Amino acid sequence: MNQTRKTTAIYLRTSTNQQEGGTATQLAKIKQYMDRQDLVIRDYVIYEDKGQSGAKASRPGLDAMLQCCQAGQHDRVIVYSFSRFARSTMQLIKGLETFKLLDIDFVSITESVDTSSPMGKMIFSIMASLSEFERDLIRERTKAGLERVKSEGKVLGAPQQYDIQAAMKLRFEGHSYQQIADIMGCTKSTAYALIQKGLIAA
């Protein structure tokens, strides 16, 4: 039986290395929040990512924290704001769903969200629903585009038949090329070609 004491994970991130004191400010705000909420947390581990864009799905500090969460070392994750943890709704929802499966509470002090509370659980459910609705809209737009191409007698299979902006949006939200391919109904190589074409045109 695993008797390891679970601790709280505190995640901090700054976008540039020039943001001196950025993570220190976030940590001070988190500690103030814990004092106001009477959260007695004696054991915690700090994970930091300095000079790391929030658009990156993989970051050294974040990856280390998630690995420890998967190993059952934490029962709570606290961040200064949603934007420090994720830069898209999809990325945030994926993280929250992971924590939910692992029975880990998530706290964002700026938004005053605590998934261990009834209000926090409701907010999470609303966000998850909106995210699913957005994915459905993308699928419907892609399907409509394919049907339009077919009705015009064009040959399917060329990257131009797919919505490049939709592919770029999915990639920005943290989806893998295979996931984008599955959503858009194309091959992984086609999804990659779409993203590259969108980057060149940007």
Which among 15, 53, 81, 112 is annotated as catalytic? 15
3-state secondary structure 167-195: HHHHHHCCCCHHHHHHHHCCCHHHHHHHH
Could you tell me which residues are beta bridge partners of residue 76? 8, 105
The question of whether 15 is a catalytic residue gets the answer: yes
Residues with catalytic function: 15
